[in-house]
Amino acid sequence: MKINGKYYRTIWLSNDGRSIEIIDQTKLPFKFEILRLSTIEEVANAIKNMNVRGAPLIGVTAAYGMAIAMHTDYSDRNIDKSYKLLLNTRPTAINLKWALDRCVANLKVIPKDQRVNKAYALAEIIANEDVEICQVIGSYGLKEIERILEKKQDKSIINILTHCNAGWLATVDWGTALSPIYMAHEAGINVHVWVDETRPRNQGGLTAFELGAHGVPHTLIADNIGGHLMQHGLVDLCIVGTDRTTARGDVCNKIGTYLKALAAKDNNVPFYVALPSPSIDFTVHNGIKEIPIEERSGEEQSHVYGIDKNNELSWVNTVPKGTECGNYAFDVTPAELITGGLITEYGIYEASERGLNQLTAGKKLKAVHDG
């Protein structure tokens, strides 16, 4: 993705070959700042505080975190300790566990003095794979956008609603839900995006930032507006991302996704989820009962974050002092509401046990052990 004409990934190895650098997402969309992370504690804090965020990017960051940890101490004990520290940063996105399991499986079986090099190489492989996967997701999603546009009476524009940020910023490059949108835009389709604000953390601001940087027409809307737009035929399809998708196709994603899926179903608007296969957790079935939902500080709800007239970033309180605030960060959309399907790097599948069985049939999904 280009920012002011310069190509960036969201994470990369520093020139010292040891630390990593990330785009600090707590400063966006107001300031574009790079943050260097040199210790495993810094990496863990960056995930927890959402300096990096989005399920695929969290996984990649954790893999680099393990590499940084190996630099200090490549013992089995430190692998276990680092695994625990990183895994406990955020509970919902399964990509975190997936990446860490892959690191452990590969590191524990090799001689200790090879672990540093292997850990960095592995983190880079995971990062590169993420870029490839997201690009392929984009091309499958593009075909779906073209198909829906073809069926439309007014072919001059296609309106897509998205929730949270499942774009370039949530991955290493391209994004999941936004990848088909970038490809449609590049293919010359007149795509317009309704961007849900996504309170309380306002990830819609991140989506607006990256769509704007790429020249994709978009309109940011309050979270309550989507249903109204759908009732008036102003949304042709919805595409969102996911933090964890179950073996039967339930989708856990940013809080508010479920309500959008309900509104979409009521208005016959196809609802798609774009996901890399590492976001699928085949060990869970019933997403509502089985997926741990992160609860974050109530201050994220009681306050809004923005830039003031002095160009300073600050939090502003919007509720009576002492008000109890709930902050559930994710919700689960049952498979039957995902009427468009699951857009993966293997193609588009029905959100159901059958669909996920078809997805896995005869395939070797991204290995946990790289051999």
Ligand X SMILES: CSC[C@@H](O)[C@@H](O)C(=O)COP(=O)(O)O
Query: Which two three-digit tokens encode residue 23?
Result: 């785009």
> How many CB atoms lie under 10 A from the CB of residue 329?
18
Query: What are the Cα distances from residue 13, in Å, to 47, 48, 245, 324, 336?
Result: 17, 20, 30, 42, 41
Residue 319 CB, nearest distance to ligand X (Å)? Answer: 21
Residue 173 CB, nearest distance to ligand X (Å)? Answer: 11
Residue 327 CB, nearest distance to ligand X (Å)? Answer: 11
CA angle 308, 43, 301 (to 5 degrees): 40
Minimum CB distance to ligand X smaller for 243 or for 250: 243
Minimum CB distance to ligand X smaller for 76 or for 295: 295
Is 54 annotated for ligand binding? yes
Minimum CB distance to ligand X smaller for 134 or for 230: 134
Residue 155 CB, nearest distance to ligand X (Å)? Answer: 29
Query: What are the Cα distances from residue 218, in Å, to 161, 250, 293?
Result: 10, 28, 30
Query: What are the Cα distances from residue 149, in Å, to 35, 234, 283?
Result: 41, 13, 37
- Please name the residue that has the structure tokens 């896995």: 360
**Burial class, 293, CB count within 10 angstroms (exposed 0-12 / middle 13-18 / buried 19+):** middle
Report the alpha-carbon distance of residue 223 to residue 257 in Å, rounded.
10
Minimum CB distance to ligand X smaller for 60 or for 191: 60
Residues whose CB is less than 8 angstroms from the CB of residue 80 and which lie 6 or more positions away in sequence, other chains included: none
Which of these is catalytic: 173, 196, 236, 243?
243
Is 203 annotated for ligand binding? yes
- Please name the residue that has the structure tokens 């088909």: 180
Is 73 among the residues known to form the active site?
A: no
HEC profile of 145-195: HHHHHHHCCCCCCEEEEECCCCEHHHCCCCECCCHHHHHHHHCCCCEEEEE
Amino acid at 114: Q
Is 53 annotated for ligand binding? yes
Minimum CB distance to ligand X smaller for 106 or for 333: 333
Residue 258 CB, nearest distance to ligand X (Å)? Answer: 12
Is 253 annotated for ligand binding? yes
Minimum CB distance to ligand X smaller for 269 or for 343: 343
Report the alpha-carbon distance of residue 126 to residue 227 in Å, rounded.
37
Residue 330 CB, nearest distance to ligand X (Å)? Answer: 7
Query: What are the Cα distances from residue 197, in Å, to 88, 164, 209, 295, 364?
Result: 27, 7, 12, 19, 37
The residues of the shown chain that bind ligand X, judged by CB under 6 A, are: 53-56, 93, 164, 166, 170-171, 176, 203, 241-243, 253-254, 329
Tell me the residue number closest to ligand X, measured at CB.
Answer: 241
Is 254 annotated for ligand binding? yes
Output the known binding site: 53-55, 90, 203, 253-254
Cite the active site residues: 243
Output the known binding site for substrate: 53-55, 90, 203, 253-254
